[in-house]
Amino acid sequence: MEIFNKQLTRVDIDRQLVLPNNTRREALPFQGTRDIVIPITFGHDGVEVDVHCSCREGRIAFTRGWVEIARKLSFNAGDFVALREDNGKYKMTVRSGSAS
């Protein structure tokens, strides 16, 4: 099930990824807490990273872990990311924003 998709901005890469308003919040394992750590597998390489996720004032954001992997995998402003959950596992795919 797709949880969200978003076109990245420079702020998303440099500071934190603020999830879109239409994010399927019920698919994220908050269970009454405001901060969680989600193991996310990135792309076809299968790199797994613990991404810290927080919910403040109704906004959900990926913080620690996200910025580091975005830089390591050379994400760019304009790229598209999508997060899916399948059988309790989370996977993010990235598509270049320059591809047509």
Closest by CA to 48, choosing from 88, 91, 3, is: 91
Q: What is the CATH number of the domain that holds 36?
A: 2.40.330.10
Give the residue numbers spanning the domain of 14.
Answer: 2-95
Q: Span 72-91, mean pLDDT?
A: 93
Is 64 inside a domain boundary? yes
User: pTM above the 0.85 mark?
Assistant: yes
In this prediction, residue 46 has a pLDDT band, given cuts at 50, 70 and 90, of confident
The residue count for the chain:
100
In this prediction, residue 11 has a pLDDT band, given cuts at 50, 70 and 90, of very high
Is 37 inside a domain boundary? yes
Q: Span 11-34, mean pLDDT?
A: 88
* Cα gap 28→95, rounded to integer Å: 22
Is 100 inside a domain boundary? no
76 vs 27, residue with greater confidence: 76
State yes or no: pLDDT of 58 exceeds 90.
no
State yes or no: pLDDT of 86 exceeds 90.
no
Is 91 inside a domain boundary? yes
Is 80 inside a domain boundary? yes
- Please count the structural domains in the chain: 1
